[in-house]
Structures are given as structure tokens and as C-alpha cells.
Amino acid sequence: MARIVRVDIKRHDYPLVGEFKFFKTPARPSVLLRLTDENGVQGFGQSVPIETWTYETVESVETTLRHYLAPAILGADPSDIADIHARMERAIRPSFSVGQPLCKAAIDLACHDLWGKQTRRAVSELLGGAKRSHIKLSWTINTPTLDAAEQRLTLAKAQGYTHFNIKVGSPQTPDYDLALVRLVTRFAPDGFHWCDANTSYSLDTALALAPKLADAGLKALESPLPPNRLRDYQRLKRQGALPILMDEGIVSAVETEEFIALEMLDGIAMKVARCGGLWQAWQIARLLREHGLTLFASGLTDPELSMAASAHFFSACGLDLPAALNGPQYIADRGTSDASFRAVGDVLRVPTASGLGLTLPADVCGAMTPVTQSHDALPP
């Protein structure tokens, strides 16, 4: 394959609609990355840091790409994804798991996009083939009052949503969380609903609440505890009141394999952006299949390129459950500047064009800053 000769980056923020507790400004920040090969073919990727959810920031992503990762992949074959990740791991070493995974996801996605364009194949084909043409979406309920929750539920129903993922935990009380879940399950009794505590429960709270949430009709409890509370996860799983999903603690296939062996989880709420991109995500999905565990779909309020990567990934996985990809819910223009990719109701179409399958306008992908290039690199 033609090798990478140029890397360009750009910060690009997307206006938000509504309120989501993880965003402190009215925009969803991202960093766009463009790779150019020696034939002039270009691939695009995206990093989606949220400092209130993980330790990575837009500033750390930009400087890490500029000074460490971009030079490391110059001259690499974008189709040799294992080598791409090995180069990135040598440049930014891991600690417990993948170092700066949200940043590395931008390069992983861009390599998949470039590889797909070089071979005229969609990313889902690179992953083994699309098993779904559309992804069913779930609506996120994140409200401090039940009155506000009722308003959001009504809005979601009007937009065609029937499945809900519910944010629970701090600063909400357990009593409020239970009342919120009961409200949602009464509102949509035929939907598929689960809740996400974002690691904010104690073991005692989770043990007391899980049976009540199950009685209320909930299908799973995501990230109830901090991921380093290994014995607590084991105990909560043994209780068996609800399937226990891990999220924040799953960054690579290594800890996934260990946590499965330790019997800490029943499934994973997968985020492609969280684990350094599609390469690690695919290995994690394989482990879940091998051990008969459940794959749930989640995201980081992903805009277009990151959302498209998730659509390809969950399509290739043959996802059966509604996906908590809430970019179309919280980002203006339903999260994308490519109208052909825009979600309709609660349905997100999986792109079929080569690579990630999106066409970005000049105001999104233009005016990128060169990070590094070989002497024979082509102009942008």
C-alpha cells in the first residue's frame, strides 16, 4: 500500500443542542486529522476528548499528535494497523493500559479511512463485512428533575425514539435514580432500557439498588463502580440481580481478557473512541463473542467521523441492541455536516462508500495545519 507522507490537524468544535452534564461549554470539541499518502489519497480521523469524562483534553490531543504521534507514523503503511499501533505505543507508552487512547483513535480512524479509500472498500468491509445496514439508536435521559425527564421523554418519542439509556449516580441520589428509572420504564414499557452510573456508586449502594432497578424493568447496569474496584465488581456480578457492564475500565483487549477471567462483568458498553480506535475495539468484541458476553453500543457524543467509525464497527459486529450513540441527540445538525449520514428518527444509516464513507465540506476539513510531511509530500 502507498505510505503516509503527510499529516495535518485542526481543532473543530460542533455546536450543541440541549444540555448534557459532561459539557461545560455550548460546543462539542474535537480534533480532526488528515493523512495523505504518496499518491495523494487522503484519509480522515477524529479525536473526541472530554476532560470531564477522561483525562485527555483538546490541548493534550493537539500537542501529542503534533510532537509525538504524527512523526511516528510518517512513512507507515496505513493498512498495517498493528504496526501503526506499535509505532504509537512506542511514541506514547501505556501505563495500566493504552496511553492517551482518545488521541490515538484519531490516527487509527484516519488509517482505516485511508486504507478503505486505497482499496475502494468501506471500513465495515475491512472489519469482515457489514451485518447491519442501519443502527437503531437509544436516547439518553440525563435530567436533575422528574419533570424535566418527562419533557425529554416526550421530545424523544416525538422524534421516533423508543429505547432509553439513563444517566444515574452523583449528584443524583439513589432514591431519585430509582424514581427516574421507573418513570422511563412506565413511559416506554416495550423499549430496551439500561442505566449508566459513570462509576459513581459505592458497592453498598449498587448492591442495594440493583434488585430494585431490575424489578423496575431495567435490562443492565453500566459502570456502577470505579474500574479499579476489582473485588467489588466480582461481588456485584455474583449478586446476579442485573447484568453488569463495564465501560471506563475497558481500554484494550488486555484488561478485557483479565477482567473476564476474574468474572467481573457480563458485558461491555463499547466506545470505539475510548480504546484507541477500531483495532483494539475489534479485539475486545472478539473476546466478548468467545466468552458469550454481551456487547452494548455506546459513545462519547461522537460527531460525524467518530460516529461513522462506530456505525461501521457495530454493523460489522452484528449489533442487535439499540446503540447509545447520542451525537444526533446533542450535536446540532444531528452530529454531521454530511446530510447523507444524518440520522433519521432513531435510525443511523451505515455508510457504504469507501473508507468511513463521509464527504466533509471545506469549512470542516479545510484550513488544516501541517504537522509533518516527507520531502516528497504532495500539497494539501
Give residue limits of the domains in the chain: 4-121+363-371, 126-349
Q: Which CATH superfamily is domain 126-349 in?
A: Enolase-like C-terminal domain (3.20.20.120)
> Does residue 8 contact residue 380 with C-beta atoms inside 8 Å?
yes
Domains 4-121+363-371 and 126-349 share a fold: no
Of the given ranges (96-100, 173-177, 231-235, 352-356), which has the lowest mean pLDDT?
A: 96-100
Of the given ranges (110-114, 175-179, 365-369), which has the lowest mean pLDDT?
A: 365-369
Q: Is the predicted pLDDT of residue 378 greater than 80, yes or no?
A: no
pLDDT band at 376 (very low <50, low <70, confident <90, very high): low
pLDDT of residue 25: 86
pTM exceeds 0.85, yes or no:
yes
pLDDT of residue 374: 66
pLDDT of residue 290: 98
Q: Is the predicted pLDDT of residue 188 greater than 70, yes or no?
A: yes
Percent of the residues in the chain that have a pLDDT greater than 90, as a whole number: 90
Give Dmax over CA atoms of the chain in angstroms: 65
pLDDT band at 51 (very low <50, low <70, confident <90, very high): confident
Please name the residue that has the C-alpha cell 460489522: 316
pLDDT of residue 118: 98
Q: Is the predicted pLDDT of residue 375 greater than 60, yes or no?
A: no
pLDDT of residue 380: 44
Nearest by Cα to 269 from 372, 377, 196, 348: 196
User: What mean pLDDT do residues 38-50 have?
Assistant: 97
Phi, psi of 139, deg, nearest 5? -95, 135
pLDDT band at 379 (very low <50, low <70, confident <90, very high): very low
| Pairing mode, strands 31-37 and 134-136 | unpaired
Q: Is the predicted pLDDT of residue 372 greater than 80, yes or no?
A: no
Q: What is the pLDDT of residues 105-150, one digit of tens each?
A: 999 999 999 999 999 999 999 999 999 999 999 999 999 999 999 9
User: What mean pLDDT do residues 297-313 have?
Assistant: 97
> What is the CATH code for 4-121+363-371?
3.30.390.10
User: What mean pLDDT do residues 42-60 have?
Assistant: 93
Q: Which residue has the higher pLDDT, 373 or 212?
A: 212
Most confidently modeled range among 86-95, 279-288, 367-376: 279-288
pLDDT band at 1 (very low <50, low <70, confident <90, very high): confident
Averaged pLDDT of the chain: 95
